[in-house]
Amino acid sequence: MRHHFFPTTTTYTNTEVTTDEIISTNISGLRIPFTIIGLLFSVASLYVFLSITIHRLRAIKRQKKEEIAQRQQSVRSRRSKGTSPYMDNLSVVASMFAFMNCVSDQPLLYIKSPTNVTCKIIQSLSFVLYSAGIVCLYSFLWFRQRACYKNPTLSEMHGKFARILSSTILPLFIIMMLAGMILTGALWEFTTSDIGCIEVAQTRTPLIVLFTGAVAMQGTLLTLFVYPLKRHAGFATSNVLPSDKLLMALVKRSIITTGLCVLADALAFIIAVALPTNTPFIVTNLLYDANLVCNVVCVV
Within a domain: 1: no
12: confidence class by pLDDT, cuts 50, 70, 90:
very low
Identify the domain containing residue 91 by its residue range. Answer: 9-299
Q: What is d(CA 235, CA 228) in angstroms, rounded to the nearest whole number?
A: 10
* Contacts within 8 Å (CB) and 24+ apart, 24-32: 24/193, 24/194, 24/195, 27/195, 27/196, 27/280, 28/195, 31/109
Within a domain: 213: yes
Question: Do 272 and 1 form a contact (C-beta atoms < 8 A)?
Answer: yes
Within a domain: 21: yes
170: confidence class by pLDDT, cuts 50, 70, 90:
confident
Nearest Cα residue to 141 out of 215, 87, 216, 80: 87
pLDDT digits (tens, 9 = 90+) for 51-101: 888 888 888 888 777 777 665 554 444 444 445 677 778 888 989 999 999
Within a domain: 267: yes
Q: Please give the pLDDT value at position 96.
A: 92
- Domain holding 147: CATH number? 1.20.1070
Within a domain: 76: yes
Domain count, the chain: 1
Enter the pTM of the model: 0.75
pLDDT higher at 234 or 228: 228
Within a domain: 183: yes
Q: What is d(CA 153, CA 240) in angstroms, rounded to the nearest whole number?
A: 11
Q: Please give the pLDDT value at position 169.
A: 84
